[in-house]
Structures are given as C-alpha cells and as structure tokens.
Amino acid sequence: MNPFRNRLQRPWGSIAFHESPNSGLPLIFLHGTGCDTTDWEPTFQSLPENIHIVAPDFRGHGESDVPAKPFTYLITSQKSTVRSTGLIKHNGNRD
C-alpha cells in the first residue's frame, strides 16, 4: 500500500491520488487511458526528496470511482474532472 495514497470526495464520487508530503517544486503526473498512478511509482522513487508529487487517478481508473452517469473518457473530460478537484491549478498551486 502506498503511504501517500489519498481520496478526495466529490458530489459525483471520489478521486484517488498520490501526493507526497514534500513542500518543494510541484510536479504533476497524469496517466494515460487504461492506466493509473501506480504506473508512475518507480519514477516517484527516483525523484529528489524535495519534489512535491501530485498524481491523480482519472475517473474510472485505478482507485477512483467509476462514473455513475455516462461519461466520455476523452482527455478534455478527464482534465475538467481533475481541475474540479482543486488538486491542481493552472499555476501548479493547491487550493
């Protein structure tokens, strides 16, 4: 079990994400369709300790909830979902 796995509850379900406790430069990892954040774990371990890692599982991927309503798995839909969580802002800062 990854000690940095978290869940963020939203009205439509929850998003699972990996976030390191470091407060350094944020580095955001987004996986491809059919993948999840566990694909990045070897990379996480090779990064300097001062990097702040944020890596969400997209809706319907990894440990995130599968959408109850019809949902298009286009990257634009996934981008909207990730932005709505508040985990990532366009400037890389958390809410």
**Digits of tens for pLDDT over the chain (95 positions)?**
455 788 888 887 888 988 888 778 888 898 888 899 999 989 988 998 888 888 999 888 889 888 877 777 777 777 777 777 777 654 445 44
Q: What's the pLDDT score for residue 3?
A: 58
Strand order in the sheet with 13-19: 5-10, 13-19, 52-56, 26-28
Question: What is the distance between the alpha carbons of residues 63 and 23, in angstroms, rounded to a whole number?
Answer: 25
